[in-house]
């Protein structure tokens, strides 16, 4: 049996790596000239930047975590998370509900008081994500941080988002932790990522390169697929010049791209795909002529007057991310094609980002010595209220067709790196 893997991002390479271990014949087909997908890194003028914002290596799944760490070998650093939130002019500990004592006393009281009120109410099942936030955190935390930040990053109203996905991704805080937090007694939230790893050199793509090196002879790059069809119990994959024949297909490419290269797809399936919601990402990379900015790993910004929702400080992940004596920041901005942000020219986005961060005293704009901007079309999966209905139609179609879907934008699930690897492991385990 020969397996054709579509896409050489993190998921596709993991699939190939695991198939090689099992002695199964496979070929990975990648449209770009290099592997990595959203896990690519650029290195210019001594600066190292991950192109799709901030990646860190963590997992509650020990098998997956060990898989990633073994690939990195000695090229890794372990950190205890130091993440903050910029709320008005205050630096608040992350997550917000664990940093209430950092707020002015009146606002601290409002958050605690409204949270306590929620404990004494009998809530019906929330109809949408916004309602879940109010029921879980209370009006104070909801309106000061959770609603504005989530609507900024998702570029979507919380009342139009489903709730089935929040378990594990937006954990419910224990009531005693919020009370302790308000009183100034140290607590930690989101402890699954309290400790994380990051490559010492080479950025997140060093993880990709480690896998790629072991299976490089089974990867075909610059192979943009034009069509896929079934002939004589084989799959024929065609790029307009060359045909590949395989017995089984596992797709890790975006579902939108896959549906276009298949013939005779029923209208109700294409409609379901068209109705899926996602965000694109702008990554603004700034090199700074200053040795040290702070000791934060990343900073969340709910303020709607600043484009970026999160700023990452790469040098605090590894000293080798910048030239000696310099620092850098990465600003993440979500958008959708056709919205106001998508119509802003790249130069203006950089200027707006620099000025916004300067005004909030995160950087000094006079120290900026390097700028770059990269746009990623597919970045975040958005779970809208119709998601489950649409994804069932899609999954049923591909199950009947016999093509496996694996990875974030193929399965169309908001999977972190570790979940992508787990998905690949499960896919190979169940492969007949």
Q: What integer pLDDT is reported at residue 431 of this predicted model?
A: 85
d(CA 284, CA 358): 14
d(CA 235, CA 228): 7
Beta pairing partners, 161: 384
Alpha-carbon separation of residue 104 from 88, 93, 109, 242 (angstroms): 11, 13, 9, 65
Say yes or no: 18 and 166 in one domain.
no
Say yes or no: 16 and 147 in one domain.
no
Q: What integer pLDDT is reported at residue 54 of this predicted model?
A: 87
Burial class (CB within 10 angstroms; exposed 0-12, middle 13-18, buried 19+) of 157: middle
CATH number of the CATH domain containing 422? 3.50.50.60
Inside any domain, residue 64: no
Q: Which of 152, 172, 192 is the last residue of a domain?
A: 172
Say yes or no: 110 and 155 in one domain.
yes
Inside any domain, residue 417: yes
Inside any domain, residue 286: no
Q: What integer pLDDT is reported at residue 283 of this predicted model?
A: 98
Say yes or no: 25 and 143 in one domain.
no
Positions in the chain whose pLDDT score sits under 50: none
Alpha-carbon separation of residue 69 from 72, 75, 78, 147, 417 (angstroms): 5, 9, 10, 35, 13
Say yes or no: 213 and 168 in one domain.
no
Asked whether the whole model's pTM tops 0.85, one would answer yes
Say yes or no: 213 and 162 in one domain.
no
Query: Helix, strand or coil for residue 227?
Result: strand
Say yes or no: 111 and 165 in one domain.
yes
d(CA 258, CA 226): 10
Alpha-carbon separation of residue 64 from 5, 13, 59, 165, 192 (angstroms): 20, 14, 7, 21, 14
d(CA 256, CA 239): 17
φ/ψ of 310, rounded to 5, equals -150, 140
The Cβ of residue 84 has, within 10 Å, a number of other Cβ atoms equal to 21
Inside any domain, residue 344: no
Inside any domain, residue 185: no
Q: Which of 172, 197, 226 is the last residue of a domain?
A: 172
Q: What integer pLDDT is reported at residue 101 of this predicted model?
A: 97
Number of domains in the chain: 2
Instruction: Give the domain extent around 414.
Output: 2-38+205-276+384-429
Inside any domain, residue 283: no
Q: What integer pLDDT is reported at residue 420 of this predicted model?
A: 98
What 3 state SS string does 123-179 have? CCCCCCHHHHHHHHHHHHHHHHHHHHHHHHHHCCCHHHECCCCCCCCCCCCCHHHHH
Q: What integer pLDDT is reported at residue 263 of this predicted model?
A: 85
> Could you tell me where the DSSP H helices lie in 216-319?
255-260, 267-274
Say yes or no: 393 and 269 in one domain.
yes
* Cβ 100 vs Cβ 186: under 8 Å: no
Inside any domain, residue 303: no
Say yes or no: 242 and 390 in one domain.
yes
* Cβ 321 vs Cβ 205: under 8 Å: no
Q: What integer pLDDT is reported at residue 121 of this predicted model?
A: 87
Structure token digits, residue 395: 């999954």
Residue 390's nearest CA partner among 270, 226, 298, 297 is 270
Inside any domain, residue 374: no
Q: What integer pLDDT is reported at residue 173 of this predicted model?
A: 86
Q: Which of 172, 187, 220 is the last residue of a domain?
A: 172
Residue 1: CB partners within 8 Å, gap ≥ 6? 24, 25, 247, 248
């Amino acid at each position: 049996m020969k397996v054709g893997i579509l896409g050489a991002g993190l998921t596709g390479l993991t699939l190939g790596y695991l198939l090689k271990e099992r002695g199964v014949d496979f070929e990975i087909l990648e449209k770009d000239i290099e592997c990595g997908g959203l896990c690519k890194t650029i290195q210019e003028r001594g600066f190292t930047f991950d192109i799709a914002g901030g990646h860190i290596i963590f997992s509650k799944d020990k098998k997956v975590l060990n898989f990633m760490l073994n690939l990195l070998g000695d090229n890794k650093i372990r950190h205890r998370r130091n993440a903050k939130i910029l709320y008005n002019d205050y630096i608040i500990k992350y997550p917000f509900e664990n940093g209430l004592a950092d707020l002015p006393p009146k606002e601290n009281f409002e958050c605690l008081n409204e949270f306590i009120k929620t404990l004494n109410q009998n809530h019906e099942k929330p109809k949408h994500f916004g309602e879940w936030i109010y029921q879980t955190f209370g009006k104070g935390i909801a309106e000061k941080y959770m609603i504005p930040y989530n609507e900024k990053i998702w570029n979507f109203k919380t009342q139009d988002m489903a709730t089935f996905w929040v378990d594990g991704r937006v954990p419910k805080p224990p009531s005693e932790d919020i009370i302790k937090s308000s009183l100034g007694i140290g607590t930690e939230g989101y402890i699954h990522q309290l400790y994380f790893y990051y490559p010492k050199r080479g950025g997140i793509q060093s993880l990709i390169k480690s896998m790629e090196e072991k299976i490089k002879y089974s990867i075909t790059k610059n192979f943009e697929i034009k069509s896929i069809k079934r002939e004589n119990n084989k799959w024929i994959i065609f790029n307009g010049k060359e045909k590949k024949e395989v017995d089984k297909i596992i797709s890790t490419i975006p579902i939108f791209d896959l549906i276009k290269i298949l013939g005779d797809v029923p209208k109700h399936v294409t409609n379901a795909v068209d109705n899926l919601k996602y965000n694109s990402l702008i990554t603004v990379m700034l090199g700074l002529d200053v040795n040290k900015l702070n000791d934060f790993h990343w900073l969340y910004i709910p303020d709607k007057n600043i484009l970026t929702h999160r700023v990452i400080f790469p040098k605090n992940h590894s000293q080798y991310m910048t030239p000696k004596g310099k620092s850098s920041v990465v600003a993440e901005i979500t958008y959708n094609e056709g919205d106001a942000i998508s119509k802003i020219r790249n130069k203006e986005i950089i200027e707006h980002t620099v000025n916004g961060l300067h005004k909030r005293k995160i950087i000094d704009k006079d120290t900026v010595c390097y700028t770059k901007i990269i746009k990623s079309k597919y970045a975040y999966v958005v779970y809208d209220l119709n998601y489950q209905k649409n994804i069932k139609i899609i999954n049923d179609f591909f199950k009947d067709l016999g093509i496996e879907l694996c990875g974030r934008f193929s399965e169309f699930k908001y999977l972190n790196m570790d979940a992508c690897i787990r998905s690949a492991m499960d896919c190979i385990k169940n492969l007949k």
